[in-house]
Amino acid sequence: MKEMGKDGGGYMADVRLTELVRSSGCNAKLPPGDLHDVLGSLPLASDPRLFGGYEKSDDACVYDLGDGRVLIETVDFFPPMVDDPFTFGEIAAANALSDIYAMGGSPDVALSLMCFPSCLDLSVMRSIMLGAMEKAKEAGCVIAGGHTISDREPKFGLSVTAIENKDSVWTNSGAMEGDCLVLTKRLGVGVMMTAHKGGETEATDAIESMRILNKRARDIARGLTVHAATDVTGFSLLGHAYEMADGSDATACISLSSLSFFPEAPELARFGFLPEGRYTNEDYLCDKVMFAPQVEKVYKDLLFSPETSGGLLLAMPEKDAALFIDEFGEPARVIGHIERKSGSRVIVSC
């Protein structure tokens, strides 16, 4: 790396951001089994004003203000999965904002969280922040401050707050028998970005997907009936479908033929470009998911792999799902349905 003068504040960033990190994006999440072991050992919050907390696996906590309104609070940050700082800021912001959209909310204000290596020029930090500010502006949210520390690995994200009417909040635990499952983005980000880091693909379509806010999906769905909602991120489609089914005391049935993957993703998975989180997700979910015998290993790899800034997963009555798909268009699809609880929480058919 090339050293700059004192006014530069650091060194020339002639290395790839992704070369500075061991893991990236939502693949950097703690394994779900370890996380649930820790959270399950903690005392439950007893404040009666808190009616959405970590014990319910919702995407954000919900705090009753006592006047018909609630605060929706979330926080999310991770290491870079792309080398362009501005794009990294956009993706990290879109991913954090998504938790609010998954609760049916509209983000109002955010605080940034930045871990920044001293070896990088401060212009890199500025570009990350500008990318996040641009995406927050698109969401109608303001980044009002934040906190920055020195770290060997760059990491960035947001803590986001929304104020909503109490009766407009979605949870991930209200899915009903007969509901359709709608997914609004393609799958395969984890595999695509693993291959991208290895120089095997530009992953242009996956990067663009991660930059897209889930705002439009939330806007359309708010005019319809939504019984349960979540977003698909680090715990994979199967992990988040499991949390919805478990919270709803139901079974989520997913049709493999209905899923939309990035075109390169299956072939890249066959070549072994699999993120580490694919294995920790399977370790946690192996006794909770049942696959039809015909499901190929490559699709199991994709369905267990972490997503970053993925789409919304919505449980909706069939009529509302059809109206949503008609207005939203591709890549949104009905990917399955909710059934009465059976032996497995998630069933994947061909």
Q: Above 80 in pLDDT, residue 39?
A: no
- Active-site positions read 26
- pLDDT band for position 63 (50/70/90)? very high
Task: Summarize pLDDT for 94-112 with one digit per residue, the tens.
Answer: 999 999 999 999 999 999 9
- Residue 336, pLDDT > 80, answer yes
Pick the residue with more confidence: 58 or 305?
305
Mean pLDDT of the 201-226 span: 97
Looking at per-residue confidence, does 255 or 37 come out higher?
255
Average pLDDT of 77-94?
Answer: 97
Cα distances from 70 to residues 37, 53, 59, 74, 280, in angstroms, run 29, 13, 15, 13, 34
Chain centroid offset of residue 56 CA = 17
What mean pLDDT comes out for the span 318-333? 98
Fold classification of 180-349 is Phosphoribosyl-aminoimidazole Synthetase; Chain A, domain 2 (3.90.650)
pLDDT at residue 176, rounded to an integer: 98
Span 187-191, average pLDDT: 98
* pLDDT in the model for residue 53: 59
CA distances (Å), 299 to each of 157, 214, 307, in order?
Answer: 30, 25, 14
Q: How far, in Å, CA of 85 to CA of 192, rounded?
A: 19
**Model pLDDT, residue 1:** 32
Report pLDDT for 33: 77
Q: Where in the chain is the domain with CATH 3.30.1330.10?
A: 6-168
β 155-165/109-116 pair status = antiparallel
Across the range 79-101, mean pLDDT stands at 97
Question: 145: exposed, middle or buried (C-beta count within 10 Å: 0-12, 13-18, 19+)?
Answer: exposed
| Arch. (CATH architecture) of 6-168 | 2-Layer Sandwich (3.30)
Q: Does residue 79 carry a pLDDT above 60?
A: yes
- Which pLDDT band, with edges at 50, 70 and 90, does 225 fall under? very high
Task: Please list the residue range(s) of the chain that carry CATH number 3.90.650.10.
Answer: 180-349
**How many CA within 13 A on the CB side of residue 76?**
30
Mean pLDDT value of segment 295-321: 98
- Whether 3 shows a pLDDT value over 60: the answer reads no
Tens digit of pLDDT for each residue in 140-170?
999 999 999 999 999 999 999 999 999 999 9
What angle is formed at CA 48 by the lines to CA 37 and CA 177, rounded to 5 degrees? 65
Model pLDDT, residue 29? 74
Q: What is the pLDDT of residues 230-241, one digit of tens each?
A: 999 999 999 999
Asked whether the CA dihedral 232, 237, 239, 240 is positive or negative, the reply is positive
Alpha-carbon Rg for the chain, nearest whole angstrom, is 20
β-pair type (61-64, 69-78): antiparallel
What is the structure's pLDDT at 7? Answer: 34
Residue pLDDT, tens place only, 242-252: 999 999 999 99
Q: Residue 75 and residue 90: Cα distance in Å, rounded?
A: 15
Q: Which phi and psi (to 5°) does residue 181 adopt?
A: -100, 120
| Res 10 pLDDT > 60 | no
Cα 205 from chain centroid (whole Å): 17
Q: What is the mean pLDDT of the chain?
A: 92
Measured in Å, how far apart are the chain's first and last C-alpha atoms? Answer: 50
H or E segment to which residue 350 belongs: none
